[in-house]
Amino acid sequence: MPATTKNSFQLVSNGILNENPIFRLALSMCPAVGISTTVMNGVLLGIAVLFVQVFSSCTIAAIKNYIHPRIRIPTYTLTIATWVTVIDLVLAAYMPTAYKEMGIFVKLIVAFAIITMRLETFACKNSVQASFWDGIGMGFGFMFGMMALGLVRELLGMGTILGYDVLGFRPLLFFVLPAAGFFCVGLMMGLFNYIELTYNRKKKGT
């Protein structure tokens, strides 16, 4: 892929819609299933991923000319690991309760396929500025995906949104169960497929 010609707005919307990390690329599914029980969890992990994605993209874009192609993957990994360590220590120091709830997933950002993939396909060929906007787009795409999942599960499971009681009753307690994460992701992917299929069919018809 040659250097991108898109402007910053297109880069951001690309990450949120066309190449949404959770529903379109189906990457980094572990947190999407594991801790998407509430909207708040999605927001917090989304912020962590956004931070790591933006900073590693910028770092790699800045030093891309000095990396030997043969050792590029280890370089990416170590860059990501460094930024994950930073956010891990910051969250542990300033938000201990939320950090505890997210458990091991903050440290596991280091193994998220989405970040390495963006470095490999985008940041190592583009300028710092373009990589920054791409990182923002991908981070927000991930955050919105997590929030959408959290919204469905929190609303259906607990009848609340962000801790506020909205429905007044609990429609399907099943959705709070950890195992329901799989169902929720599967059903939402099915929904997106359905929308896409009907949209394409309509387009063909007219």
Partner 1 sequence: MRIAPRAYLFPVLFLIAGFLLAGCGSDHRFVKKTAFQDTNAITIEFAGPVEGSWATDKSNFTVYEKPDPDIQLIIEDIALGPDKRRVTLTFKDDLNQDQPHVVTTTDIRSERRSLRPAILTVKKLYLGHLLSIFIGAMIISNFVFTKYLGLCVFFGTSQRKSTAVGMGITFTMVIVVSAMMAWFLYQFVLKPYRLDFLQIVVFIGLVSLSVQAVDTILRKVNPALFKAFGVYLVLVIANCIIIAVPLILADNEYNAFESLMLAVGAGLGFLIALFLMSSVRERLDLANVPPTFRGLPIAFVVAGLFALAFLGFSGMSIF
What does the binding site for partner 1 look like in residue numbers (CB under 8 A)? 26-30, 33-34, 73-74, 77-78, 80-82, 84-85, 88-89, 104, 107-108, 110-113, 116, 177-183, 185-187, 189-191, 193-194, 197
Element (H, E) at 26: none
Select 18 or 198, whichever has its Cβ closest to partner 1: 198
Instruction: Give me the least distance between CB of 35 and partner 1, in Å please.
Output: 8
CB 56 within 8 A of CB 76: yes
Return d(Cα 86, Cα 179) in angstroms, integer. Answer: 31
Instruction: Give me the least distance between CB of 96 and partner 1, in Å please.
Output: 16
Select 29 or 40, whichever has its Cβ closest to partner 1: 29
Rounded to the nearest 5°, which phi and psi values hold at 46? -60, -45
4 class by beta-carbon count within 10 Å (0-12 exposed, 13-18 middle, 19+ buried): middle
Instruction: Give me the least distance between CB of 144 and partner 1, in Å please.
Output: 19
Q: In the structure encoding, which two tokens stand for residue 26, read together?
A: 């189906």
CB 87 within 8 A of CB 48: yes
DSSP assignment of 39-74: HHHHHHHHHHHHHHHHHHHHHHHHHGGGS-GGGHHH
Instruction: Give me the least distance between CB of 34 and partner 1, in Å please.
Output: 4
